[in-house]
Amino acid sequence: MDKLATRYGKISSKHQNMVRGCLVALFFGVIGVIVLLSTFADSATVSGVVFYDYNGNGKRDNVQTINNSIATDLGAKDITVKGFDSDGQLCGAQKTNSNGEYALNMGTCTSTQFRIEFSDIPASTYPSQLGEDNQSTTQFVASGGVANLGINRPDEFCQNNPNLVTSCYSFGNIADSNTNNDTLVGFPFNISGTTTPPMQLGKVGLVGSTWGLAYRRSTQTLYSGAFMKRHADFGPGGSGAIYASPVPDSGTGSTAPIHVATIPDTGTDPHPISNTNCDSRDGQQSQNTNLCWARDEFSFSTINKRGLGGLALFSDPDNTSNDSLLTINLNNRKIYKVSNLDTTKSVSEYNLPLNLPNSGADALPEGSASGQHQPCTLSDVRPFAVTVYQGTGYVGMTCSAQTSRNQSDLRAYVYSFIPQTMTFSTAPTLEFPLNYGRSCSNGNNNTGCWQRANWLPWIDSFDDPLVNDGQPPMGNGVKILTAPQPILTDITFGSNGSMTIGLRDRYGDQMGYQAFNTNNTDNTLYIATSTGDLLRACSVNGKFTLENAGLCDGKGPGSSGVHAVVDSLPQGPGDFEFYNFDFYADDNDNPLFHDEGAQGGLAQVPGFSSIVSSAMNPLRGIPDGIWSGGLRWYNSDNGTKNNAYRLYQSDYQNAVAGTPYFGKANGIGDIEAICKMAPIEVGNLVWNDKNSNGIQDAGEPVIPGVTVSLLDNANNVLATAITDSNGNYIFSNRVQDEDGNTMNSSSSHIYGVSGLTTNTQGFRLELRNESDYITQDRLNGLYLTTADSRINDGNSQNDSNAVTLSLQTPLSASNPAVVTFDTGPSGANNHTLDFGFTTAYIVNPPVQDSETTNPTTTTPNSTENTTSSPVPQSSTNQVKNKPATIFANTGQVLIASMLTAIVLISCGVGVFVWVRRGNNK
């Protein structure tokens, strides 16, 4: 102070005290500003997960066991998450990681609530049913809050514990004594053991021998395709028949399949005319005159060369009336599409890439290893498998090596195609050799392998030298033969995009159980041991890579999972196999006799960690496991066995030709899951648009207690709901929950609305309750806000959709607020049908930049008080905003500036502070 006095003259004690106070105030003011700014610098965060809600229950199911048979809801990666403050400023953005997780840093935004928006949802994918873990594509949360989102592809929707269906086979002519035996059966996913009999869905006399299965959800119809099998007759439709069976997604199903389509040029029927006339139906003369079906001499060479192979449904994601069937003709080696399934069927023929093209950006390097390309003699290319996954088709083909008889020529190929245009890829999606080592087809832990399981070139003669009779005959003189020949019969996909390939042993269909040689001079009874396989290919950076050494993308049992009659023998690509529990086991799960028991049929319900495979001797131990066929469940993440179910067991005590089932030969076919149609749900918000901008902003009140009526295009009232405390209303056509229980409606959430149908135009939502317009806490004194607002570079997900018949007439029951909408396909939930009201009269402008968007959801959660309407805590939308300028447009700048001004004014300094806050006044 003395220096100040010297420079400026003497300062009075009064002014000295004022200066001291000013400096002290300035010091503490600056400290306050620093503390304030540092406090605001601690950014708000919001976190959560985006997940695939496979059963559509709005919950994230993340524990899966075989007992409850539910999907594990996996995370969805690369979903964009954005956070906005209450002024609509973008605070942060992030994409979800591989687990579907995100943690959004809100930067310097200071709102007490944030709007969290989810975008970049994959095509043909929609928000799931609202529930405890799914509050729509836009949600309002406080700092530190959680915002989760469930999404679902309608073609991957499935209830818990769905029924499975498989084909099985019965010996002989369809008109003989076995005519009423099962050939199509169903059972719950969580079935096991032997005690529960399957549901009968088709009899021998109606469909005969089939392989391919496809289920059409929209009509609850199971399709099955004719299959060429020695000792088992075609159905009444012959070698090219496709049958349809009414199979409800719950209940016992039907036993009355009908012949609905015929694929041409599938080959003549080589089976015997009858059991006493052994001439073939295609005119070949036999020297035999008795037990003709036990010999079936002309069928041996035709296996996988006549009839139909795989069968798949391509479901149009926009309109199920455009659904079509895809199947492989094994005779002319072409693929066929059956269209117009609801009317007169149309059958179209397309060429397969039998020349095995390998060009373009995805071309594989030349070579013989897995992931390399090796050509095949054209006549040896044998197609069979066909499937559709997420809108893309896949076919599986095998190089049979029948011409060269060289095991190194055995090879598997998978090509993709576009079902709408039937255009195939110019390079294999996956290719790998089939000459990898496999352990024992038949063996004994004490004496080793009697017959190796290694794949062999295809053969057409019963007495071919490649047939192995090394196992000692049974005590009753019956001989056991093997000649494993590969055919790629099935392809399935896991929820993470991984592929499982089913390989069937052709010899298991060339042979039977206690049947004769094709040579009519040999009356020995023979048994075959089928020796199939299942392999896994993982999707790595968009490319499929086959398992190696028991691992796929670093996961699997590896070399520690050795399970074989002779452990020193190789068991798969790289000597070990991923699915290493495909052996027949004793009561302690040790290998017993057979190391490779798969039969090429597969099913994987989306989201389920278990893959189901047809199997020889599925149960362990003696006597339950022997001479039988059924199913096994494997964990598709680590290859272990989860469960097993036996469908049949052949008579193993009596050496009699013509027993009805096929013992250890191929006795089970393809497998199909019976999943329900995904329901549709519409809604969902009535709110007070306080700033009249037509956008659902954070902090704006919702309006509970408002009656919403759903009307169809004929002006019929289908259902009525009352908005809940969050301003929400929901209408859904869902009748049962994921466990099959009846959905319970509340006053605001109405389920079981049968009139809410898919792909229908002209539905209306009306606020037609007169009392709502005269009640103070509802709509009294309010006007409709701007409809279809596009401010802030927004879109149709966060706006108000309501209009009225007359803007000049006050809102009332006779002039109600109305939202008109059309429904999309199954599963296309639409939670963007919102009513916004305001206290200011607005003349609605014409809709600008109208667009069609994937339906999303708006679900605020609110806190009620006695003086105001509830405040939203979650909503739905997708708004694009410019990034916020750091500090320049934030409230803390204003507060800090005010504090500084107060301090300076107290020191006798006049300060004028002006802060511009972005787009706000």
Flag whether pLDDT at 333 surpasses 80. Answer: yes
| Residue 647 φ/ψ, nearest 5 degrees | -95, -35
Domain with CATH 2.60.40.10 in the chain: 45-156+678-838
* pLDDT reported for residue 13: 53
Handedness of CA 593, 595, 600, 603 (dihedral sign): positive
Q: Could you tell me the pLDDT band of residue 877, with boundaries at 50, 70 and 90?
A: very low
For the question of whether the overall pTM of this predicted structure is more than 0.85, the answer is: yes
pLDDT of res. 40: 41
Tell me: pLDDT of 22 over 70.
Answer: no
Instruction: Give the closest residue to 244 by CA, choosing from 349, 348, 385, 338.
Output: 338
Q: Which of 59-68, 380-389, 449-458, 603-612 has the lowest mean pLDDT?
A: 59-68
277-292 confidence digits (pLDDT tens): 999 999 999 988 888 9
Are 294 and 276 in contact by the 8 Å Cβ rule? The answer is no
What pLDDT score does 11 carry? 47
Q: Are the beta carbons of 313 and 216 closer than 8 angstroms?
A: yes
Residue 244 per-residue DSSP state: E
CA torsion sign for 507, 512, 518, 521 is positive
Query: Nearest-CA neighbor of 826 among 57, 147, 153, 46?
Result: 153
Contacts of range 178-183, beta carbons closer than 8 Å, 24 or more positions apart: 178/204, 178/660, 179/203, 179/204, 179/205, 180/204, 180/205, 181/660, 183/207, 183/208, 183/209, 183/210
User: How confident is the model over 624-653, as pLDDT tens digits?
Assistant: 889 999 999 999 989 999 999 999 999 877
Pick from 581, 583, 574: which is nearest to 550 by CA? 574
Structure confidence at residue 847 (pLDDT): 38
Rounded CA gap, 598 and 271, in Å? 26
> Could you tell me the pLDDT band of residue 850, with boundaries at 50, 70 and 90?
very low
* Per-residue confidence band for 793, with pLDDT thresholds at 50, 70 and 90: low
What pLDDT is stored for residue 898 in this prediction? 42
- Average model confidence (pLDDT) for the chain? 86
Convert the pLDDT of each residue in 858-868 to its tens digit: 333 333 333 33
Q: What is the mean pLDDT of residues 191-202?
A: 91
Distances (CA, A) of 640 to 293, 458, 619, 643: 39, 31, 15, 10
Asked if 542 and 498 touch (Cβ cutoff 8 Å), the reply is no
The average pLDDT across 574-583 equals: 93
**3-state DSSP call for residue 815?**
coil
**Range with lowest mean pLDDT among 2-16, 209-223, 810-824:** 2-16
SS3 386: strand
Q: What is the pLDDT confidence band of residue 903, given thresholds at 50, 70 and 90?
A: very low
Residues 6+ apart with CB under 8 A from 236: 174, 205, 206, 208, 259
Give tens-digit pLDDT for 76-90.
999 999 998 888 888
pLDDT in tens, 722-735: 999 999 999 999 99
Per residue in 663-693, pLDDT (tens digit) is: 999 999 999 999 999 999 999 999 999 999 9
Residue with tokens 């149009």: 316
Q: Coil, strand, or helix at residue 615? A: strand
**Which residue matches tokens 């935004």?**
109
Q: Could you tell me which residues come within 8 angstroms of residue 627 by beta carbon, excluding any fewer than 6 positions away?
A: 513, 617, 649, 650, 651, 652, 663, 664
For 389, phi then psi, to 5°, come to -135, 120
Looking at per-residue pLDDT, the higher value among 251 and 6 belongs to 251
Gyration radius (Cα) of the chain, Å: 35
Q: Which residues on adjacent β-strands are paired with residue 555?
A: 552
Q: pLDDT exceeding 70 applies to what percent of the chain?
A: 85
pLDDT digits (tens, 9 = 90+) for 9-18: 444 554 455 5
Is the pLDDT assigned to residue 881 strictly greater than 60? no
CATH number at 45-156+678-838:
2.60.40.10
**Burial class of 355 by CB neighbour count within 10 A (0 to 12, 13 to 18, 19+):** exposed
Q: Can you give the pLDDT at residue 27?
A: 53
Lowest mean pLDDT among 74-88, 346-360, 431-445, 648-662: 648-662
Structure tokens at 168: 């099985």
DSSP conformation letters of 270-298: -SBSSSS--SBTTS---S--S-HHHH-TT
Q: What tokens does 781 get?
A: 């004194």
* Backbone torsion region of residue 817, taken as left when φ is above 0, otherwise alpha when ψ lies between -120 and 50, otherwise beta: beta
404-to-379, 407, 409, 466, 488 alpha-carbon distances in Å: 11, 8, 8, 13, 19
pLDDT at 64: 55
pLDDT for residue 790: 79
pLDDT of residue 713: 97
